[in-house]
A = this chain, B = another copy of it.
């Protein structure tokens, strides 16, 4: 296990929440300060912070800010603000999960200090979970392997260390990897801007490809695709960044294995399958820019997550272990600690 204190894009200091503005990476490293729960919800919606575990932790700290606002302003409706925060983005289960954990603290009569302690605990548990996940996942990777990751499921998407990138960090530190590839991940280019940046920061060599090159890369030689998840359904279907299901289908075609790394907080036993998950569709301008502002015939369809069928997944890795060829029964047994 890599026990060095991992880098985190989320910090609590000076009684405020600070977020590394991920929209500006890798060119600029700018930290934004937050003292208002609705500003935190906006930061989540606007992708200052992204990645399922990271937005969960961010929201947990956001509740601390909301509680403080409700003490300072008797007219402040904390419950309504919690609803807005939980609804800032629709797809990842961690956001609602984190707000619910803080609601439980409030229901027990917890105060701001108790909420902050809970947020810090969630943050710490997330990092510990990522470190454990890294070790579980690395155990599946043979020496000399070539791996491809998609989007950013790294330190920047979590409390620190990362889910998919946690597996890659652990495998790299154990000398198991001969090549690491990152797909650029349009339209926000999280692979190009975030994954490449944070791997290089940790001394890991990385080669970026466009999504279109995935099949060519697999044909040239690849052993694993390693991704995170925004939600894992009861049957093992994985909801993750748009393009993930492409990679799973291509991997199966080329005989490349497919690994999903996600904390148990991302496992959602209440959602039977991927068909039930709301898929966020974002502004067409994220793809078009202002190129066709005066041309109504050109539009864009911009879903930002997709569903990968459980049958295409070779391994699901959580902080408590590995589920090979995940399905409904194996996931239920895993969550039950069996």
Contacts and interface: CB of A to CB of B under 8 A. Distances in A.
A211 B212 contact: yes
Contact of A297 (B181, B203, B292): B203
A6 to B, nearest CB: 18
Contacts of A200: 292, 295, 297-298
Nearest to A308: B215
A89 interface: no
B298 A196 contact: yes
Contacts of A197: 298
Given A212-B242, A213-B302, 7 more contacts: A192-B287, A203-B297, A208-B288, A208-B301, A209-B302, A210-B242, A253-B253
10 contacts: A27-B291, A181-B301, A186-B210, A192-B287, A197-B298, A199-B298, A206-B299, A210-B242, A210-B287, A249-B249
Contact of A185 (B204, B209, B212, B306): B212
A149 to B, nearest CB: 14
A193 B298 CA distance: 11
Interface string A171-213: 0000000000100111100001100110110011111111111
A26 B306 CA distance: 30
Contact of A186 (B184, B203, B300): B184
Interface in A205-252: 205-217, 219, 241-246, 249-250
Nearest to A188: B210
A306 B241 contact: no
Interface size class of A (residues with CB under 8 A): 35 or more
Contacts of A241: 212
Contact of A299 (B184, B193, B207, B214): B207
Count of identical protomers in the assembly? 2
A278 interface: no
Interface in A133-173: none
Nearest to A179: B301
A303 interface: yes
A309 B279 CA distance: 33
Contact of A253 (B196, B206, B207, B249): B249
B186 A291 contact: no
B26 A291 contact: yes
A287 B184 contact: yes
Given A208-B287, A292-B26, A292-B200, A214 B301 contact: no
A35 to B, nearest CB: 32
Nearest to A196: B298
A222 to B, nearest CB: 11
Given A212-B242, A249-B249, A253-B249, A300 B207 contact: yes
Contacts of A196: 292, 298
A297 B216 contact: no
Contacts of A209: 287, 300-302
A106 to B, nearest CB: 38
A280 B243 CA distance: 24
Contacts of A242: 210, 212-213, 216
A215 B307 CA distance: 9
